[in-house]
Amino acid sequence: MTKLHADRRLFVPLRTAPFDWFSSQGKKWEVRRNRGAFRADRLTCGRRVELRRGYTGTSLWGTLTKTVSAANAAELFSRVEYPVAVPTVTSKAEAIALVEKLLGKDQELVAFRVDLDEERAVQDIPFDPDLIGLLDLGKKTTTIRAGHRDYQPGPAVLHFGPNTRRDAAIIGTRLTTLDALTVHDARTDGYDTTDELAAVLRRFYPSLGADAPVTVVEFTCRPD
């Protein structure tokens, strides 16, 4: 594997009302146009999902468990019960009208079910305190660890010593080897070249061989 997308979370920005419906009003399904990141063949069951209030607000995490495609809103709501997609309307006709207003008439649509985590486990990732500067400047968006690390897409806390931390979300992981790391890997980790990156990694893992497995973990810092 050479890309992070295999385990990458599905990012779903939401307006305040739909976000709150997921949080407390029984919404289980999200409806989108069947295109781009929300193309039906990309919405695989088991994929981790981050529902976020806007682009900088709080997040809910869950797992994608079912997908339904349809030629239009009427067909969609013949296959998905409208209250679990649009909890505030009182009829199927209202749900169809609202979706057509927001997404357009006669649009190919996809709906996907998100089962929210009952308890969203926060993963702890320790860092060398000297790396906090690279992170805060936006120059470090990955961390590379020796061996296979079972980090999962979802919330995390990055620890830079006992008194400094940053809230983050793991976006995806990739298992590769030291000698297969690229210049892009070096730069997202905060360095200019693969040689510089390898030298830094061997400071932490002195016995790391060229063909040794490493895990690339991509993350994004979360606003307070």
Rounded-to-integer distance, Cα 202 and Cα 212, Å: 11
Domain with CATH 3.10.400.10 in the chain: 123-221
CB 182 within 8 A of CB 140: no
CATH 3.10.20.30 is the classification of domain 4-116? no
149 half-sphere exposure, CB direction, 13 A CA radius: 22
For residue 145, the cross-strand partners are 215
Pairing of strands 123-126, 29-33: unpaired
Band (220; pLDDT cuts 50, 70, 90): confident
pLDDT, residue 172, reads 86
CA-wise closest residue to 158 among 169, 166, 150: 166
Calculate the average pLDDT of the chain: 90
pLDDT, residue 224, reads 47
User: Tens digits of per-residue pLDDT, 13-41?
Assistant: 999 999 999 988 889 999 999 999 999 99
CB 52 within 8 A of CB 94: no
69 pLDDT exceeds 90?
yes
6 pLDDT exceeds 70?
no
User: Tens digits of per-residue pLDDT, 157-212?
Assistant: 999 988 899 988 888 899 999 999 999 999 999 999 999 999 999 999 999 999 99
92 pLDDT exceeds 80?
yes
pLDDT, residue 56, reads 84
CB 154 within 8 A of CB 9: yes
What stretch of H or E contains 183? helix 183-188
Amino acid at 23: S
118 pLDDT exceeds 80?
no
Question: Can you give the pTM of this predicted structure?
Answer: 0.59
119 pLDDT exceeds 50?
yes
Domain with CATH 2.30.130.30 in the chain: 4-116
Band (58; pLDDT cuts 50, 70, 90): confident
45 pLDDT exceeds 60?
yes
CA-wise closest residue to 21 among 56, 44, 65, 51: 51
Band (129; pLDDT cuts 50, 70, 90): very high
CA-wise closest residue to 114 among 50, 47, 28: 28
pLDDT, residue 122, reads 79
CATH 3.40.720.10 is the classification of domain 123-221? no
Pairing of strands 154-159, 165-177: antiparallel
pLDDT, residue 5, reads 44
Task: Report the percentage of the chain scoring pLDDT > 90.
Answer: 71
